[in-house]
Amino acid sequence: MGKTLAQKIFDAHRVDTPAPGVAVLSLDRVFCHEITTPIALNDLVAKGKDRVFDPSRIKAVIDHVTPAKDSKTAEQGKTLRDWARRHGIADFFDIGENGVCHAIFPEKGFVRPGFTVIMGDSHTCTHGAFGAFAAGVGTTDLEVGILKGVCSMRDPETIKINVTGKLRPGVFAKDVILAIIKKLTVNGATDKVIEFAGPVVDGFDMDSRMTLCNMAIEAGGTCGVCYPDMTTVEYLWPFIREEFTDKAAALAEYSKWRPDEDAEYVAVIDFNVDDLEPQVTHGYKPDQVKNVSEMTGTPVNQVYIGSCTNGRLGDLRIAAGVLKGHRIHPNVRGIVSPATPKIYSQALEEGLIKIFMDAGFCVTNPTCGACLGMSNGVLAKGEVCASTTNRNFNGRMGRGGMVHLMSPATAAATAIAGVITNSPLFHK
């Protein structure tokens, strides 16, 4: 019987099988941010184990609350910063160079096909877009990852989703993944890897593939993965050009990280997008999804464009394209947070930032802040936010607030209208 992509990665990284169905894997990357890491670091110090397994395989960023908003968040940043310096972790990104973890780490070329990656952050599944096994973990797993470079995982079962058909104009990766989560439900992929395959995924750029994989966790998935192809090679080429004679050689090497034809799946789902309309969530679970046309007219107080789901350059281009020449509705607070300094800088060069500002948006520095109600755009009780983020949980962006998840195009159109509405990019 053939193997899935995750099984191949597990086979190549397995260092122990402590019990049937459990694998201890060696790690190629341990990513850290300032919210879930400091308690692990303090615990290592308290245990007399203030060590790191390999400073070159550990990458760290301050991204959730930056600049620090109070003494506690300042202390969290300081703990991470001091530790990174103490252990010679060269790839540590502090204010001025920092961005949302799942945007900046791929942008730096840290994730390669076939890698194993953990981070104390559930949206670590984003990095599966590169054909890697990347999983969010808790602080204890992170602590062991930092100390020993290993992590235990249950042997993965995989759901394969073939995304077929042709997307209508104005329908994007975010709409596809929201519709898939609706179909799977929030518990439908628990303990499973999701392989996103088929012609629609093959045609997606890396930004769109990251949007897809980013929300695998919202269906309970351990990781979402896409198969490495020339799109992956092109994205990584500036970082790998020394390793390969040419792109074809890189593709040949990375192609070993594709599933076998006869791989065994717990489910294979064909998902046709021909008739898919722009999607939006209602309620407090990410599987509560409707067509935007069914929610049209719902008033919003705030529009947020950013995050590890949709804060990349492609997202800002789409949103700015909708906003150009318009002002946002007077009842709406518009906030855009480019996900990394490089994205911010490119958006400046392309004139996108000017479009956002002329439209009445507040442009913040790169940060996760508003998405989880920590800073930079927390909602008051009873307020409604149209958001390009990934979670609409009760209280997520502030106690008593309501979050409607949607694509950057829909968010931009909603900002102009002051009510949820389809973007003019969408044509039936």
Q: Is 229 exposed, middle or buried (0-12, 13-18, 19+ CB in 10 A)?
A: middle
Nearest distance in Å: CB 66, other proteins: 13
The rounded distance, in Å, linking the Cα atoms of 427 and 366 is 32
Q: CB nearer to other proteins: give 103 or 413.
A: 103
> Could you say whether residue 24 binds other proteins (CB under 8 A)?
yes
Among the listed residues 28, 63, 107, 141, the single contact to other proteins using CB under 8 A:
141
- Site for other proteins (CB under 8 A): which residue of 9, 372, 411, 417? 372
Q: Which of 43, 91, 234, 253 binds other proteins (CB under 8 A)?
A: 43
Residues numbered 346 to 365 that lie near other proteins (CB under 8 A) are none
HEC secondary structure over the chain: CECCHHHHHHHHHEEEEEECCEEEEECCEEEEECCCHHHHHHHHHHCCCCCCCCCCCEEEECCCCCCCCCHHHHHHHHHHHHHHHHCCCCCEECCCCCCCHHHHHHHCCCCCCCCEEEECCHHHHHHHHHCCEEEECCHHHHHHHHHHCEEEEECCEEEEEEEECCCCCCCCHHHHHHHHHHHHCCCCCCCEEEEEECHHHHHCCHHHHHHHHHCHHHHCCCEEEECCCHHHHHHHHHHHCCCCCCHHHHHHHHHHHCCCCCECCCEEEEEECCCCCCEEECCCCCCCEEEHHHHCCCECCEEEEEHHHHCCHHHHHHHHHHHCCCCCCCCCEEEEECCCHHHHHHHHHCCHHHHHHHHCEEECCCCCHHHHCCCCCCCCCCCEEEECCCCCCCCCCCCCCEEEECCHHHHHHHHHHCECCCCCCCCC
Residue of 15, 252, 268, 362 that binds other proteins (CB under 8 A): 15
- Of the candidate residues 36, 307, 310, 388, the single one contacting other proteins (CB under 8 A): 36
Name which of 311 and 341 has its Cβ closer to other proteins.
Answer: 311
Judged by CB, which is closer to other proteins: 53, or 237? 53
The residue to which tokens 């049209």 are assigned: 296
Stretch that binds other proteins, among 81-89, 202-210, 290-298, 392-400 (CB under 8 A): 392-400
The residue range among 21-29, 205-213, 229-237, 271-279 that interacts with other proteins, by the rule CB under 8 A, is: 21-29
For the chain, the straight-line distance linking the first and the last C-alpha, in angstroms and rounded, comes to: 43
Q: Which of 11, 56, 82, 154 binds other proteins (CB under 8 A)?
A: 154
By CB under 8 A, residue 4 contacts other proteins:
no
In the list 80, 84, 150, 163, the residue contacting other proteins (rule: CB under 8 A) is 150
Please tell me the distance from the alpha carbon of residue 93 to that of residue 61, in angstroms, as a whole number: 5
Name the residue nearer to other proteins (CB basis): 169 or 400: 400
CB-wise, 108 or 148, nearer to other proteins? 148
Binding mask 51-90 toward other proteins (x if CB under 8 A, else -) reads: -------------xx----x-xx-xx--x-----------
Nearer to other proteins, 70 or 262 (CB): 70
Please tell me the count of residues contacting other proteins according to CB under 8 A. Answer: 60
Only segment of 38-46, 174-182, 260-268, 359-367 that touches other proteins (CB under 8 A): 38-46
Assess 249 for contact with other proteins (CB under 8 A). no
Stretch that binds other proteins, among 80-88, 145-153, 204-212, 409-417 (CB under 8 A): 145-153
Residue 294 tokens, joined: 């069914």
**Under rule CB under 8 A, residue 19 binds other proteins:** yes
Does residue 178 belong to the site contacting other proteins (CB under 8 A)?
Answer: no
- Residue ranges in contact with other proteins by CB under 8 A: 15-16, 18-19, 21-22, 24, 35-36, 38-39, 42-43, 47, 49, 64-65, 70, 72-73, 75-76, 79, 119-122, 124, 135-141, 143-144, 147-148, 150, 152, 154, 186-187, 190-191, 217, 220, 222, 284-285, 372-374, 391, 393-396, 399
